Structure 1
């Protein structure tokens, strides 16, 4: 571990308050571990609902998810904060009500929480670390005279689209309203088709929570002191170079825990099924992994076309069929398994959730049918597994463009209006056939090396993180 933050009159102390989606929890926890490994004191707060899900997903209830990390010498204090709803409240099914409360009422709870911490000790110089979608962060930081660090958990290209959304409106590219046109006005992005914009840039009205939160977040982040991005500089060199001209912007990804810290802190909101024993019985590269993440819901007919396509491909598979993933069309008893055709499980394994990194790292995996969540993309590249891309919403749409069009490490599913079993089977065959996918595999191994090199001691991400720490200390103690 790095040396402590000594030689200062007070100890730098990060206050970190996480969001609830699984895709944001994982890199945020990993950032906390990375900061603590570099000598910072951390007070980390999960929402009470997040803590409840993580705690019940593990084999035993936990009151402090960082207890094992502290035993390894990290100075991380743990707390929970209420989002204003009981833990049993279904946030996903009442998303508009929940997000309205998060935007309008939750900031007062954060204010009380932060104020209480700062009154409790005079031995620290505090700074605030928050997810970019925590729209309250700059205002809270300014109120208490703290430095504000914003973590962007998605690629820099997606950040730049949101950061320049007013420019897109000015040039008539937003709202998209179904148009397909080449866009060249976004600084750092040479060209992008409007169909590849994030979903909150696609429609004209601020009529849902994702759009409101997105636009408010990009207004707020312009007041942050530092922006950390969970990407690799070499993957998005041009766009990162431009963003750095506006604000201190550091590519520090992929935010994975070091080997010594793996497994110390639970992050999963659902119980994880261990697929290792089944995978170890399969030939190398023979298994297709299918997962659409923790939030997406799909119509029954879409899932069935994918299922029949997998059957036609005659490939082994692991299919993550998360509870609630099939929308209102799911089986009358609420059992997604009940809709699957007889014999579907004969060649595969159906699980409600699993430890994805353990699956992707297994030699048996030869391809990944994915929703293109950014954590999934990074993990797939890290383990050298080419992808079939079927995005649903948010950044996933732009991530697909990066994976398929820019980096050429994946195939696009559904070029037409709807998914068909024939296309699913054809794309699986193209991906899983070693000869047909030779170029994909060569390219993904190049990207894998890029990611791994970035995390070496002299790599771009480690160098950027070290520079961020120096800049952060200078800013924190100049205010003190």
Structure 2
């Protein structure tokens, strides 16, 4: 991954500005590492809040990536889930001025700004300063297209969505998108309050004024949607996914001699039978209700299935929360865990980055989406790609799933002799190969990232 030292020879200066959340910072950093590895003539300045520098500042990175900081947008970004509206408002109003001050102080002028799509003001900053902007959206291209084509939902009487009576109706008119139930539309379309949608419209309205549109998506998995969008956009669209740290797997470290605190879970996985462990992680941000979490914990314990679960709260991390056949940790190297031979399934909230990691690793999914694009991604996994099962049945979005239902589902899902699982695993391997081919030499990711680098050098 590490190119030669940049020094004064850098001829292309990429200034990266992610939104202040792990689901945005991680794909942006992975993109920057991949760009930096392309040439020692690429210098990357990665701009984060002071708080996030504390989280990621010591992580390994190429020599031609450096950090710059801006003040925190909220007193603590860790509480953004409870203050989502305030957090989004802060990212849209409080980051622009300090970012411009960084641009003013750069020793090497910026060649291009790569900005998170949520930070629409970055496009205006680039236009004022005559700096090209690439808008990176760490979401499915299909999610972007649904917002872009919102007028079609209105014209067809599908907004606001009435899930109580019309949830099973299907939207079949979004260019390139496979038919989707109203109940599986992103939750931003399920509410009467239009403030979230108005902000989303504002964000995507700035994209045509940028010079490039980037999606952290594997082209082959969303090619009809990407191609349909490209017909409507005057700027190049590049699918540069999966933006996951697969390149770190090429240089493994021996966890047997590493920190015991960091790698207890890997040692535990080494001692488990092949494909016997269900990995459970519902993201670092949102969470299910406390009642539902209680049922999940009890159901996993009662199933008797080996389980590695990531839990943030101390109560959920107690030994009693996983039983004798499991392990609970506050954090883990997720991609390394998913690629471990003992892991046979992934219970996920359907975050896009987590989904791409599961696809890369080639594991089947149990899906329990919470908000935003996660319902759409669950639909991809279960209906389109056929590599997973839903924890909640169709039409039961608000229903509590009981511990008995969870225990039975998990036992069936992790039964390697189950015919349904065997059929699903055939598709899992097919989708994994699509992902692996994309990042091979000559694959869609390699072709797109090289084309993007060529563009920014000219």
Alignment TM-score > 0.5, same fold? yes
Residue among 44, 47, 51 paired with 2:53: 51
Question: Following the alignment from structure 2 to structure 1, what is the Cα–Cα distance between the partners of residues 198 and 27?
Answer: 23
CA distance 1:242–1:227, shift in 2 (3 Å): same
SS in 2 for 1:69: coil
Question: Following the alignment from structure 1 to structure 2, what is the Cα–Cα distance between the partners of residues 188 and 88?
Answer: 36
SS in 1 for 2:62: helix
Residue among 123, 126, 135 paired with 2:111: 126
Residue among 129, 140, 150 paired with 1:144: 129
CA distance 1:205–1:263, shift in 2 (3 Å): farther
Residue 320 of structure 1, CA deviation:
1.1
Question: Following the alignment from structure 1 to structure 2, what is the Cα–Cα distance between the partners of residues 275 and 387?
Answer: 20
Residue 211 of structure 1, CA deviation:
4.3
Q: Work out whether residues 10 and 43 of structure 2, in 8 Å CA contact, stay in contact via their aligned partners in 1.
A: no
Q: Provide the residue aligned with 2:411 in structure 1.
A: 429
Mapped pair 1:455 → 2:424: no
CA distance 1:88–1:440, shift in 2 (3 Å): closer
Mapped pair 1:379 → 2:357: yes
CA distance 1:151–1:286, shift in 2 (3 Å): same
Residue 14 of structure 1, CA deviation:
0.8
SS in 2 for 1:350: strand
Q: Work out whether residues 37 and 62 of structure 2, in 8 Å CA contact, stay in contact via their aligned partners in 1.
A: no
SS in 2 for 1:237: helix
Question: Following the alignment from structure 1 to structure 2, what is the Cα–Cα distance between the partners of residues 125 and 45?
Answer: 13
Answer with 385-394 or 301-310: which moved more.
Answer: 301-310
Q: Work out whether residues 454 and 462 of structure 1, in 8 Å CA contact, stay in contact via their aligned partners in 2.
A: yes
SS in 2 for 1:93: helix
Residue among 206, 217, 220 paired with 1:234: 220
Residue 373 of structure 1, CA deviation:
0.8
Question: Following the alignment from structure 2 to structure 1, what is the Cα–Cα distance between the partners of residues 119 and 184?
Answer: 24
Q: Work out whether residues 161 and 186 of structure 1, in 8 Å CA contact, stay in contact via their aligned partners in 2.
A: yes
Pairing of 1:142-221 with structure 2 (within 5 A): 142-178=127-163, 179-180=166-167, 181-207=169-195, 211=197, 213-221=199-207
Q: Provide the residue aligned with 1:100 in structure 2.
A: 89
Residue among 415, 435, 443 paired with 2:427: 443
Question: Following the alignment from structure 1 to structure 2, what is the Cα–Cα distance between the partners of residues 32 and 403?
Answer: 28
CA distance 1:125–1:54, shift in 2 (3 Å): closer
Q: Provide the residue aligned with 2:80 in structure 1.
A: 91
- Point out which structure has higher relative CO (alpha carbons under 8 A, 6+ apart): 1
Q: Provide the residue aligned with 2:22 in structure 1.
A: 22
SS in 2 for 1:236: helix
Question: Following the alignment from structure 1 to structure 2, what is the Cα–Cα distance between the partners of residues 2 and 335?
Answer: 41
Aligned length: 434
Q: Work out whether residues 215 and 240 of structure 2, in 8 Å CA contact, stay in contact via their aligned partners in 1.
A: yes
Q: Provide the residue aligned with 1:287 in structure 2.
A: 277
Residue 472 of structure 1, CA deviation:
3.2
Pairing of 1:249-328 with structure 2 (within 5 A): 249-257=237-245, 258-259=247-248, 274-323=264-313
SS in 1 for 2:278: strand
Residue among 35, 54, 62 paired with 1:69: 62
Deviation string 1:391-446 (CA, Å, 9 cap, x unpaired) is 00111110000000000000011113331223212321232111220011111111
CA distance 1:337–1:93, shift in 2 (3 Å): same
- The TM-score normalised by the length of structure 1 is 0.84
Q: CA RMSD in A?
A: 2.6
Mapped pair 1:223 → 2:209: yes
CA distance 1:225–1:263, shift in 2 (3 Å): farther
Q: Provide the residue aligned with 1:351 in structure 2.
A: 329
CA distance 1:204–1:82, shift in 2 (3 Å): same
Question: Following the alignment from structure 1 to structure 2, what is the Cα–Cα distance between the partners of residues 182 and 108?
Answer: 44
Provide structure 1 residue ranges, at least 5 long, that are not aligned to the other structure: 56-61, 265-270, 324-333, 475-480
CA distance 1:96–1:262, shift in 2 (3 Å): farther
SS in 1 for 2:331: coil
Question: Following the alignment from structure 2 to structure 1, what is the Cα–Cα distance between the partners of residues 155 and 351?
Answer: 29
Mapped pair 1:33 → 2:33: yes
Q: Work out whether residues 273 and 351 of structure 1, in 8 Å CA contact, stay in contact via their aligned partners in 2.
A: no
Q: Work out whether residues 321 and 351 of structure 1, in 8 Å CA contact, stay in contact via their aligned partners in 2.
A: yes
Residue 262 of structure 1, CA deviation:
6.0
Q: Work out whether residues 198 and 393 of structure 1, in 8 Å CA contact, stay in contact via their aligned partners in 2.
A: yes
Q: Provide the residue aligned with 1:59 in structure 2.
A: none
CA distance 1:151–1:433, shift in 2 (3 Å): same
Q: Work out whether residues 322 and 328 of structure 2, in 8 Å CA contact, stay in contact via their aligned partners in 1.
A: no
Question: Following the alignment from structure 1 to structure 2, what is the Cα–Cα distance between the partners of residues 47 and 214?
Answer: 23
Deviation string 1:79-138 (CA, Å, 9 cap, x unpaired) is 111134445874333333333222223222222222332xx44xx562110111112121
Residue 263 of structure 1, CA deviation:
8.2
Residue 23 of structure 1, CA deviation:
1.4
Deviation string 1:27-75 (CA, Å, 9 cap, x unpaired) is 11011111111222111111111112335xxxxxx4xx56x521xxxx2
Question: Following the alignment from structure 2 to structure 1, what is the Cα–Cα distance between the partners of residues 455 and 119?
Answer: 22
Provide structure 2 residue ranges, at least 5 long, that are not aligned to the other structure: 254-260
